[in-house]
Structure 1
Amino acid sequence: MTRPLQLVTGGTGFIGSALTLALLDRGHAVRVFDNNFRGRNHRLATAKGALEMVEGDIRDEAQVARATEGVHTVHHLAFINGTRHFYEIPDQVLDVGTRGALSTLKAALEKGVKRYVLASSSEVYQTPERVPTDETERILLPDVTNPRYSYAGGKIISELLTLNYLRASSVEGVIFRPHNVFGPDMGFEHVVPELARKMFDLSAGFTKKAIDLPIQGQGTETRAFCFVDDAVEQIIACAEKGGAGEIYHIGDTAERSILDLVEAMARVYGIKVTVVPGPLRPGGTPRRCPDIAKVRALGASPKVGFEAGLERTLAWYADHFTNNF
């Protein structure tokens, strides 16, 4: 028996496609809404079950309203991600972020949606005051003149809209803030694929066993990397069990430096790497690691883990680079 219809905006994106496949595996009918600006239909090539694809612009209220007909839960993930885009097209990042939230919220209210699940980001904290960081941490835009913060600003606006548009309605709003989710086919603008690309190129397809690897910063900056399958389990727990008006962290709790990440990647690829530090782009944060006690209380916690997830991720990128060498 098919379970209630789920709408996933940004459903051909990295996390959106993984969420879509997981919802289908659980017996839901799923409708995906995306314009494939960064998403790719091939990510859903293995989809089985009741999957409907709708191509459209998340800023178009009429298109979004039609896509929301008969929907039980809206999972709003559509956004422009990728650090390069924050610097190069900040106007579009904010436009899609703000108008996308408005259009999906209006549709949810008009169409009698039961649950509205917003994908926010750990970027809303910038440099948090407490690490590990829980959901009560203050959010901050330290410099409105830096285009990098177009992304964080759009996420903060989306959170404010979600909490206040739904406050007096029957639609239950839930917000999740993912922290450094990684996995196969995640794109090429994030730290894991960027480093993988450099390692492949500098080692001539891993034929050279020792390389010098330029990085941004000194490598002491830390993150807590969460494999995408683990993140999706937590997202679904938030969607199904999260309290209305609540915010949840999605992630892992093992804090790793970029140097640790480089060493782990080098082990997987069987090469020796000497790191060459370089300048950091303005706006990055030196340390980030979430407290995920709140989502654990919903019954979700990482199962695949960093090491196994990294092996699967790097195998995908090695294959991709080799076939497109």
Structure 2
Amino acid sequence: MDLSTKIYIAGHKGMVGSAVWRALTKQGYTNLIGKTSKELDLRNQQAVTDFYAIERPDVVIDAAAKVGGILANNDYPYQFLMENMQIQNNLIDGAYQAGINKFIFLGSSCIYPKFAPQPLKEEYLLTDSLEPTNEWYAIAKITGVKACQAIRKQFGKDYVSLMPTNLYGFFDNFDLQTSHVLPAMIRKFHEAKLNGNTPVTLWGSGTPMREFLFVDDMAEAVVYALENILPEHLYNVGSGTDVTIKELAETIQKAVGHQGEILWDATKPDGTPRKLMDVSKMKEVGWQFSTELNEGIAKTYEWFLENIESFKQVKI
């Protein structure tokens, strides 16, 4: 891959897209393209078609999506299904129609069945029913994976899908109504610390197990997929290790310095009991994670503190 290769990063202002941009810049890539949602509405097929015709990128990295946690997925099922399908369909088909030979599609571990054997292997896709609280987002992402697979199978193009585990890090969403579990905990413990170490109430029982990956590690996996031709269409990207939500809470509490009580609201849903990725296929092709959870949480909390006034989704 030439360092002057023209690379379009869809969703370059988001947590994942901005990490990919940083990683590519660090590697010396000089011809990166990014458009904000105001500049380019990815839900608009004609707008995306016109963008490809004008810019003519060599590679597309799709880090654009409508995302959120259990609450947001439950409250806005239609938007999570339809908008994600519109975004990815326009990007994938537009890239194929424009003759773009390399496309990296980013999805989520929620594409796998709720009660699939652990750890989750790529071949478990479509073998059973999904987790109901986020099936709308999952179904959209599954269609993206299958679209890239179909283009790869039928036309021989290098379209590959990377499925990250739960990501966190710089530019995460800390809005308590729409955020994922880790950034929500960071904010809750921080606010409780400021309020005199008041108790923190968290959803569920604390027993589900989750795997987390620092977003800059995910970006390195994207760079690896960019610079290499991977032999298969679908790869899990994660750490290959997991912790209970209770252990996660205690790790974040320690990093933040909160000294109050943790309370668990068992009336709230736990979601999938366990989601651990089998990352052996990525290891086999030569990539593995490098940032341990303690280090990643410490870096994320430091970033949270540095950006607490300017980051639009942190309103404390």
**Whole-Å separation in 2 of the counterparts to 1:82 and 1:94:** 12
1:32 paired to 2:34:
yes
1:58 paired to 2:48:
no
Q: Indicate the RMSD between aligned Cα atoms, in angstroms.
A: 2.4
**Whole-Å separation in 2 of the counterparts to 1:159 and 1:279:** 35
SS in 2 for 1:11: coil
**Whole-Å separation in 1 of the counterparts to 2:286 and 2:231:** 17
Q: 2:182 aligns with which of 172, 184, 192?
A: 192
Contact kept, 8 Å, 1:216 with 1:277, in 2: the verdict is yes
TM superposition shift of 1:59: 2.1
RCO (CA 8 Å, sep 6+): is it higher in 1 or 2? 2
AA at the equivalent of 2:171? D
**Whole-Å separation in 2 of the counterparts to 1:317 and 1:74:** 29
AA at the equivalent of 1:129? A
Q: Which residue of 2 aligns with 1:17?
A: 18
Report 1:100-249 matches (<5 A): 100-139=87-126, 142=129, 146=132, 148-188=134-174, 189-204=179-194, 208=196, 210-243=197-230, 245-249=232-236
**Whole-Å separation in 1 of the counterparts to 2:138 and 2:189:** 30
**Structure 1 gap ranges (5+):** 37-54
**Whole-Å separation in 1 of the counterparts to 2:57 and 2:78:** 30
Report 1:266-281 matches (<5 A): 266-279=253-266, 281=268
Runs ≥4 in structure 1, deviation > 6 angstroms?
none
1:289 paired to 2:303:
no
Residues paired across the two proteins, number: 303
Q: Which residue of 1 aligns with 2:238?
A: 251
Check 1:161–1:148 CA distance in 2 against 1; reply closer, same or farther (3 A cut). Answer: same
Check 1:143–1:298 CA distance in 2 against 1; reply closer, same or farther (3 A cut). Answer: closer
AA at the equivalent of 1:56? L
**Whole-Å separation in 2 of the counterparts to 1:154 and 1:288:** 19
TM superposition shift of 1:27: 2.8
**Whole-Å separation in 2 of the counterparts to 1:143 and 1:296:** 26
TM superposition shift of 1:101: 2.2
**Whole-Å separation in 1 of the counterparts to 2:210 and 2:20:** 23
**Whole-Å separation in 1 of the counterparts to 2:35 and 2:124:** 32
AA at the equivalent of 1:191? V
**Whole-Å separation in 1 of the counterparts to 2:83 and 2:231:** 25
AA at the equivalent of 2:72? H
**Whole-Å separation in 1 of the counterparts to 2:102 and 2:269:** 37
AA at the equivalent of 1:192? L
AA at the equivalent of 1:123? C
Check 1:74–1:266 CA distance in 2 against 1; reply closer, same or farther (3 A cut). Answer: same
Q: Which residue of 2 aligns with 1:43?
A: none
**Whole-Å separation in 2 of the counterparts to 1:263 and 1:234:** 28
**Whole-Å separation in 1 of the counterparts to 2:66 and 2:233:** 24
TM superposition shift of 1:317: 2.2
**Whole-Å separation in 2 of the counterparts to 1:222 and 1:96:** 29
**Structure 2 gap ranges (5+):** none
**Whole-Å separation in 2 of the counterparts to 1:111 and 1:283:** 43
AA at the equivalent of 1:241? N
TM superposition shift of 1:319: 4.0
Deviations 1:138-160, CA, capped at 9 Å, x for gaps: 3367379x563211111112112
- TM-score by length of structure 2 reads 0.87
**Whole-Å separation in 1 of the counterparts to 2:95 and 2:73:** 28
**Whole-Å separation in 2 of the counterparts to 1:273 and 1:139:** 43
Check 1:162–1:126 CA distance in 2 against 1; reply closer, same or farther (3 A cut). Answer: same
Bigger drift between 97-106 and 148-157 goes to 97-106
